[in-house]
Amino acid sequence: GEEIARKLKTGIRDETQLTASVGVASSMLVAKIASDMRKPDGLVVVPPGTEEDFLAPLPVRRLWGVGPKMEEALAKLGVVTIGDLAAIAPARLERRLGTHGFDLQRLARGEDERDVVAEGAEAKSLGQEHTYSRDTADPDRLRATLLQIADAVAGRLRAHGLRARTVTLKYRDEDFHTTTHARTLDEATDSGNALFRVA
């Protein structure tokens, strides 16, 4: 990884006379944060297994999904650094943030399983997620949210001139158990109603 990073920096400098900061890590999140550490011409390598130690002293605001309001909510729990977030009891975090706290805590530990996708690469899927501020089992509320999500995805499909054949629904409950179901349609669609019916 470090060798590739050095070649990238050299290639950018040779072709454009510009500097570039590069982060090398086992996940996209940690590599992005590492690349921000020594701008404008840095190279930061985070060896596998050291992600949590690297992130721990940094302000929690460095994490994706932590803006001013989230930072304020976390501060009320005594969470100021990424290390504080990684260490807080999950139940405390869940009471304050719902299931979104679970995702943030995983990021605080350097766990980020998303694939890197080059710009311009053809999208294989479009998705939409929703996290309730308070957990709910109200079927009417869940159904209304599902309709909004289906409409949002359909709108994005139409905006990109795309149609989809497979609908996947992922549901995470209050204990963070995740269930995923998928169904493939006979014909591709960009209709929110069609996506909603299948979901």
Cβ atoms within 10 Å, residue 14: 8
What proportion of the chain, given as a percentage, has pLDDT over 70? Answer: 93
User: How confident is the model over 138-186, as pLDDT tens digits?
Assistant: 999 999 999 999 998 888 888 878 889 899 998 877 766 778 889 998 8
How far is residue 104's CA from residue 86's CA, in Å, rounded to a whole number? 9
Tokens of residue 5, six digits: 């990073």
Q: Is the pTM of this model over 0.85?
A: no
Residue 117: per-residue pLDDT:
61
Which of the four pLDDT bands, split at 50, 70 and 90, describes residue 10?
very high
Mean pLDDT over 56-77 rounds to: 88
Half-sphere exposure of 154 (CA within 13 A, CB side): 18
Give the torsion sign (CA, 29, 32, 34, 37): negative
Average pLDDT of the chain to the nearest whole number? 87
Residue 121: per-residue pLDDT:
54
Residue 123: per-residue pLDDT:
58
Q: Give how far Cα 198 sits from Cα of 10, 29, 190, Å.
A: 50, 33, 13
User: How confident is the model over 103-122, as pLDDT tens digits?
Assistant: 889 889 888 876 666 655 55
Instruction: State the virtual CA torsion across 27, 33, 38, 40 in degrees, nearest 10.
Output: 100
pLDDT above 80: residue 98: no
Q: Which of 23, 178, 13 is nearest to 103 (CA)?
A: 178
Alpha helices in the chain (DSSP H): 2-16, 28-35, 51-55, 68-75, 82-87, 90-97, 100-108, 139-159, 192-198
